[in-house]
Amino acid sequence: METSPALRPAHIPRSTAVRPPCATPFSRAHWHATCAAIRRVPRVNGDSNSSIKPALADHAAPPLDLDLLPVSNLPRPLTITDLSPAPMHGSQLRVAYQGVPGAYSEAAAAKAYPSCDAIPCDQFEVAFQAVELWIADRAVLPVENSLGGSIHRNYDLLLRHRLHIVGEVQLPVHHCLLALPGVRRDLLTRVISHPQALAQCELTLNAMGLNVAREAFDDTAAAAEHVAAAGLRDTAAIASSRAAELYGLQVLADGIQDDAGNVTRFVMLAREPIIPRTDRPFKTSIVFAHDREGTSVLFKVLSAFAFRDISLTKIESRPHRHRPIRLVDDANVGTAKHFEYMFYIDFQASMAEVRAQNALSEIQEFTSFLRVLGSYPMDMTPWEYSSSSSPSPAPGGDTSR
């Protein structure tokens, strides 16, 4: 069937009209192809009605390029590289941390992933979600401080989110007393910082004779930023020396932490776990729960590690968030309330080792819930305490963030 007269271009002879390759109605694709061929017919002396060059009517001539849209305007199809995990290290990594620039968490992120693109987040929850939603490739968050203990919020969030621990970093905490340029200590009436930073410097502040009001702030770097932005000449902040550089503050006192052994441990989180190895020291973090009464289950868990000579570096218990209280009837005194707990354990072994695999297989037999949070290289970077304005280049951060 040939093209109907209503659709056939008037200036193409009937004998050369474009026909479909088979006996089917003339399709829209063929019509577009014909229009494209017509648009490409060269004009002679500016006359669009001049005769067609033999190349169009000659079936032996090379075919014309009939692209209807420029290729550059079309969306690029996804490739496997778009969906592949980001490299473990490098300048392309986007690393989320809690706080503002100048926070100890930012220093931890920089140590864990040098030259990364650090992304500040106002809450721990936001940092978790940034990785889950592919806004960031990694998150570096504190989990425990040598003086302040565990950061329980992050332990709870590890259960609520499906991120994996892929590494750890540690950083000695080096606090400084910061104020606006020209401000003297005797003019101060208030010191602000994160609550743990205030507690970690309490004895030093008293020894300096600073019997002033101490107020809690969201984090150390945010306190320094507030002093600078508000122009507070009666207020000092406890933060890092980098915060002083970023916000134009002077260091009134350097290294004011009460304990030189103040160190915070951070974990690096990713969407996918890493492959455990045995060529270097590894640490594995797990969490479990049990439904049975008494301490026998916990004893069995610890025994599974002890019999295999696996060292534990941490054990932490947290109330079960979904079932925090269970009621037990007591005929004598009425109703008693008992908390159900989740137990977090870190142990020094890789999941690539048979002894670690056997230990978890045994634990799984008498626990109601068991999850491996990550098996990752231990932070073996040497660090030392320093009284300089800059902390040693060791990985990690601070509970005061």
Which of 3, 34, 264, 284 is catalytic? The answer is 264
Is 278 assigned a catalytic role?
A: no
Which residues, in sequence order, are CB contacts of 16 under 8 Å at separation 6+? 56, 57
Residue among 107, 95, 267, 266 nearest 175 (CA): 107
Token output for 389:
């304005």
Which of 266, 282, 288, 305 is catalytic? The answer is 266
> In sequence order, what E strands does 208-301 have?
213-216, 235-239, 250-254, 263-270, 282-289
Amino acid present at 169: V
Amino acid present at 148: G
Is 235 assigned a catalytic role?
A: no
Would you call 221 helix, strand, or coil by DSSP?
Answer: helix
Would you call 164 helix, strand, or coil by DSSP?
Answer: strand
346 Cα distance to chain centroid: 21
In degrees, to the nearest 5, what angle opens at C-alpha 202 toward C-alphas 201 and 206? 115
Residue 58 has, within 13 A of its CA and on its CB side, a CA count of 6
H or E stretch covering 115: none
10 Å CB burial of residue 186 (0-12, 13-18, 19+) is: exposed
Q: Which residue has the tokens 């650090």?
A: 118
Residue 311 has, within 13 A of its CA and on its CB side, a CA count of 5
* DSSP structure class, residue 99: S
**Catalytic center residues:** 264, 266
